[in-house]
Amino acid sequence: MSRFSNELIDRLLKARIITSLTGAGVSAESGVPTFRDPGGIWEKFRPEQLANFEAFMSDPDFVWSWYQHRRQIMREVKPNPGHRALAEMEGIFDEFNLITQNIDNLHKRAGSKNVTELHGNIERNYCIKCRKEYNEVDIHEKSVLKCECGGLIRPDVVWFGEMLPLEALRFAENCAMRSNVFFTIGTSAEVYPAAMLPMIARQSGAYVVEINTRPTSISYDVNEVLQGKSGEILDELVDVLKQKKAII
Ligand code: BJW
Ligand code: ZN
């Protein structure tokens, strides 16, 4: 007995455009802590407290060393079966768009080519004054670095109150509007504007599927909920799709 509905499999086999929105839960099985699950490294400081420009300006060394610590974790972990299944889907479908809120590079390391990053990338940094990029920073630099112009160097990630990269956001909205099937995977769907994407997809006629270990605030608004670990579910889904595609 497959855990996938016949409707989902039928729609996927007929779909022209498929989009997946991913969040921290997709990297949880690799060992990257999520933001809002209990027991995580974010229990002491809520993301809203630390992931903002004011926090950086009031204690740049502290915020910088926090990012260096997370950068270390993200470099040490490896992509999991969920990342690999999403990379495989690129080859299975004519148009498969992967939109991620994650900054950890694991989708690209798993082989996904068409990745749109909504919240930046932890491997990049830039000067807050002149915007010069600093992407080869030593992981052991525990204090914040200064640019040759005197400005502080910050990670190239999107903090609360900051605009998302406009081109990436426009592309993501466009994918949501055009997709036949839209997956929302391993995200609590609490942070906007990313959380709007599944709703835009649904309103535009897509079949929206949520994959998550727990219910979220949008679970009632989607067409199908697959409850469980994304690594296991996506791996299974790719197997089913490969079998069906081989028969057709
Ligand atoms: C598993 C699993 C497994 C576990 N398998 N699942 C409209 C309405 C209301 C508020 C706003 C709004 N528009 C803007 C706002 C304000 C704000 C916002 O959304 N606030 C909310 C908290 C209410 N948004 C912003 O400020 C954004 N900017 C913006 O909108 O600019 C325009 C603007 C400017 C000024 C004024 C007004 C508008 C920017 C948001 C930036 C978010 N940045 C962060 C930090 C990035 C850098 C870093 O990492 O340090 O991005 S916060 C953090 O949350 C990170 C994530 O990408 C993001 C989303 O988290 P995610 O991925 O969903 O993780 P979790 O932990 O929440 O969920 C994990 C899920 O996985 C759970 O559901 C688990 O169950 C599940 N899971 N294991 C499957 N194995
Ligand atoms: Zn500078």
pLDDT of residue 170: 98
Active-site positions read 119
| Structure token pair of residue 68 | 């260096």
Average pLDDT of span 100-113:
98
- In whole angstroms, what separates CA 156 from the centre of its chain? 15
The preferred substitution site among 35, 225, 230 for testing ligand 1, maximizing ligand atoms within 8 Å of CB, is 35
- Whether ligand 1 lies within 6 angstroms of the CB of 188 is answered as yes
Q: What is the pLDDT of residues 160-201, one digit of tens each?
A: 999 999 999 999 999 999 999 999 999 999 999 999 999 999
| Structure token pair of residue 73 | 């974790």
pLDDT of residue 248: 63
**135 alpha carbon – ligand 2 mean position (Å):** 13
- Whether ligand 1 lies within 6 angstroms of the CB of 28 is answered as yes
| Structure token pair of residue 244 | 């069906």
pLDDT at 49 over 90: no
pLDDT of residue 40: 72
Residue nearest to atom 58 of ligand 1 (CA): 191
Mean pLDDT of the chain: 95
User: Of 83, 28, 217, 229, which Cα lies nearest the Cα of 37?
Assistant: 28
Higher pLDDT, 19 or 50: 19
Average pLDDT of span 75-104:
97
- Which residues fall inside 5 Å of ion ligand 2, going by CB? 127, 129-130, 132, 147, 149, 151
Q: Please, what's the b/e burial string for 193-203 (b: 16 or more CB within 10 A of its CB; e: otherwise)?
A: ebbebbbbbbe
**150 alpha carbon – ligand 2 mean position (Å):** 6
Model confidence pTM above 0.85: yes
Q: Which residues pair with 95 in a beta bridge?
A: 17
pLDDT of residue 245: 83
pLDDT of residue 42: 80
For the CA of 42, the nearest atom of ligand 1: 66
